[in-house]
Amino acid sequence: DAGVTQSPTHLIKTRGQQVTLRCSPKSGHDTVSWYQQALGQGPQFIFQYYEEEERQRGNFPDRFSGHQFPNYSSELNVNALLLGDSALYLCASATGTSSYEQYFGPGTRLTVT
């Protein structure tokens, strides 16, 4: 049973560029949440997708957008990258939006230079 997978593992981008990160949820899960984790800090909630719609959103600018596909996989897009966007981006999956247990993927380490 595959767990949550994310790609790529690492990514280096330049300020102003755009990036797309990908997540495949754990088998049987239909809800995907995205988090940004800066070094030395806890994860911060970006948004959540369920039934191909954004259901909840944290305090992140519109430069952060996402998508969920019919197979429940998801993408996180960040436009006009800033140095401060450098972080570990975590994806977590669950069954429905009210399940208390969610499983995290290994993350994508994004470095913006």
Site string for other proteins, 55-94 (x = CB under 8 A): xx-x-------------------------------x-x-x
Beta bridge partners of 23: 6, 74
Total Cβ atoms within 10 A of residue 36: 22
Contact with other proteins (CB under 8 A) among 43, 68, 76, 89: 43
Q: How far is CA 33 from CA 12, 74, 78, 90, in A?
A: 23, 9, 15, 8
Q: Does 45 bind other proteins (CB under 8 A)?
A: yes
Encoding tokens for residue 105?
């993927």
Q: Which residues bind other proteins (CB under 8 A)?
A: 4, 31, 33, 35, 40-45, 48, 55-56, 58, 90, 92, 94, 97-107
